[in-house]
């Protein structure tokens, strides 16, 4: 069993912005000439990356916090299990509401799990570039 003190120390190390996956994706987009705002507070949910010219909001989600593989995580939780399950489920509900609000405002929402960004940065970048091209083509009609 891990002590509460150790768990608390681990949780303090987790950052909510400028995480390694976010920095990796931002760097790749910048190298492709894509300009963006980071942690853009003028939009619901404060997207990690907001491409204003194309109205694309990108979130790089930590798998644990955003409920990816929640059923697997539930089995691994030992301390304050119900607290963490409720917190994660509330995060998932909030993500859904943020997505709906952004879409209602005319934004395209892209969410990537952090590990996916780290393992498939090129694919993420290509997908974003393709979405920008599609939206630009669509708006020029």
Q: Is there a domain that residue 90 lies in?
A: no
Q: Is there a domain that residue 23 lies in?
A: yes
Domain extent at residue 124: 16-65+97-133
Q: Is there a domain that residue 116 lies in?
A: yes
The CATH number given to whatever domain includes residue 128 is 3.40.960.10
Residue 58 CA to residue 125 CA, distance in Å, equals 11
pLDDT digits (tens, 9 = 90+) for 84-125: 888 888 989 999 999 999 999 999 999 999 999 999 999 999
Q: Is there a domain that residue 118 lies in?
A: yes
Domain count, the chain: 1
Q: Is there a domain that residue 76 lies in?
A: no
Q: Is there a domain that residue 108 lies in?
A: yes
> For the whole model, what pTM was predicted?
0.84
Q: Is there a domain that residue 6 lies in?
A: no
- For the beta sheet containing 49-51, the strands, ordered from the edge strand earlier in sequence to the opposite edge, are 37-38, 49-51, 56-61, 108-113
Query: pLDDT above 90 covers what percent of the chain?
Result: 63
Residue 87, pLDDT score: 86
71: left (phi over 0), alpha (psi -120 to 50) or beta: alpha
């Amino acid at each position: 069993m891990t002590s509460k003190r150790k768990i608390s120390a681990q949780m303090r190390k987790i950052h909510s912005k400028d995480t390694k996956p976010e920095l990796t994706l931002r760097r790749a987009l910048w190298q492709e000439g894509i300009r963006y705002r980071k942690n853009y507070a003028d939009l619901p949910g404060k997207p990690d990356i907001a491409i204003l010219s194309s109205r694309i909001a990108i979130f790089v989600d930590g798998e644990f916090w955003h409920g990816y593989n929640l059923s697997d995580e539930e089995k691994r939780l030992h301390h304050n299990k119900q607290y963490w399950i409720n917190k994660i489920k509330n995060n998932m509900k909030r993500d859904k509401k943020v997505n709906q609000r952004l879409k209602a405002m005319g934004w395209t929402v892209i969410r990537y799990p952090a590990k996916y960004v780290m393992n498939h940065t090129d694919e993420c970048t290509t997908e974003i570039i393709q979405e920008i091209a599609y939206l630009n083509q669509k708006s020029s009609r």
